[in-house]
């Protein structure tokens, strides 16, 4: 797979994830949050495992270990975004999650121990102002939904960086599917410990659960590590910035959500900040592309 095809695949992943906020918003009123995470993860894992069972049974301990780690991050992402979507609009949740794109290069900065570049500093400032417009309500108070979304975004950034390291060492398909399995395990345990699990009671809730399972989890989180093997963490984060655009479109069409003037200003500033933070010159892009091709 070429880097161009991998990037195109990640665009489709962003589109799939863009539907997740709409699905989560719908089902969150009918089913407890941890139970939702358990259901979507279990259905996605069982479906993908059966689909590729011949490849799944030949798994080594290193793959299982890595899958347990990214599965824990995945569980945290699901819970954070679900709670965030429950207490804020689906459109707002989508744009808040975009902060992942700025967090990835920042975390990479700490890993490489290099000072942030000027474009990252400018981008972070723009994102910060955008977050203020998008999340501050009634003066200087911040809604809890925004906090949950930002926690999910941080875990999302960690997941991208960790996944990028693991895909170089193990089978990417096994990693993508078994992370869902471990995420399922964590969610089931948490659901029985902290809430009373219950199944969806309406057809629309079941449709939302199945959408989360097949479109967002089975496709999205299995295709992500496969595509990431052939591109960079920065490119991955940047392409995922398309996710809130898709989420806002779906929320407007299906949920009739309107973010308001402050919301749209904040969303625009976040998108500009994300673009600035991940801007590379043509010369640098060519160098990165050549380096990526040499490693593959």
Question: Could you give the C-alpha distances from 65 to 60, 71, 179, 189, in angstroms and in order?
Answer: 9, 10, 10, 19
Task: Tell me the pLDDT tens digit for each residue of 60-107.
Answer: 999 999 999 999 999 999 999 889 888 888 777 877 877 777 777 778
Q: How many domains does the chain have?
A: 1
Is residue 138 within 8 Å of 278, Cβ to Cβ? no
| Stretch 127-137: mean pLDDT | 73
Supply the mean pLDDT for the chain: 82
Q: What radius of gyration do the chain's Cα atoms show? A: 19
Domain enclosing residue 107, as ranges: 3-294
Nearest residue to 257 via CA among 267, 242, 269? 267
Assessment of whether the complete model's pTM goes beyond 0.75: yes
* Residues ≥6 apart with Cβ < 8 Å to 252: 91, 258
Question: Among all chains, which residue has been given the structure tokens 């050549």?
Answer: 290
pLDDT at 290 over 60: no
pLDDT for 207 equals 95
């Amino acid at each position: 797979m070429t880097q161009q095809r991998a990037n195109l695949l990640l665009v489709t992943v962003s589109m799939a994830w863009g539907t997740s906020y709409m699905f989560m918003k719908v089902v969150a009123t009918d089913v407890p949050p941890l139970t939702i995470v358990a259901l979507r993860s279990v259905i996605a894992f069982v479906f993908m495992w059966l689909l590729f069972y011949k490849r799944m049974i030949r798994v080594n301990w290193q793959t299982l270990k890595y899958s347990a780690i990214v599965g824990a991050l995945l569980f945290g992402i699901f819970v954070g975004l679900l709670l965030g979507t429950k207490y804020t609009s689906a459109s707002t949740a989508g744009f808040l999650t975009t902060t992942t794109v700025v967090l990835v290069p920042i975390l990479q900065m700490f890993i490489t121990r290099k000072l942030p570049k000027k474009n990252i500093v400018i981008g972070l400032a723009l994102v910060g102002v955008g977050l203020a417009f998008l999340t501050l309500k009634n003066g200087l108070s911040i809604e809890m939904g925004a906090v949950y979304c930002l926690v999910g975004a941080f875990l999302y950034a960690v997941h991208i960086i960790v996944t990028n390291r693991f895909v170089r060492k193990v089978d990417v398909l096994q990693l993508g599917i078994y992370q869902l399995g471990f995420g399922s395990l964590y969610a089931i345990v948490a659901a029985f410990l902290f809430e009373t699990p219950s199944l969806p009671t309406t057809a629309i809730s079941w449709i939302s659960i199945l959408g989360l399972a097949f479109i967002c989890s089975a496709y999205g989180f299995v295709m992500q590590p496969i595509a990431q093997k052939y591109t960079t963490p920065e490119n991955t984060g940047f392409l995922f910035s398309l996710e809130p655009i898709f989420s806002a479109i779906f929320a407007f069409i299906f949920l009739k959500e309107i973010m308001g003037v402050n919301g749209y200003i904040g969303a625009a500033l976040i998108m500009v900040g994300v673009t600035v933070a991940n801007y590379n010159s043509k010369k640098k892009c060519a160098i990165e592309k050549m380096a990526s091709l040499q490693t593959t």
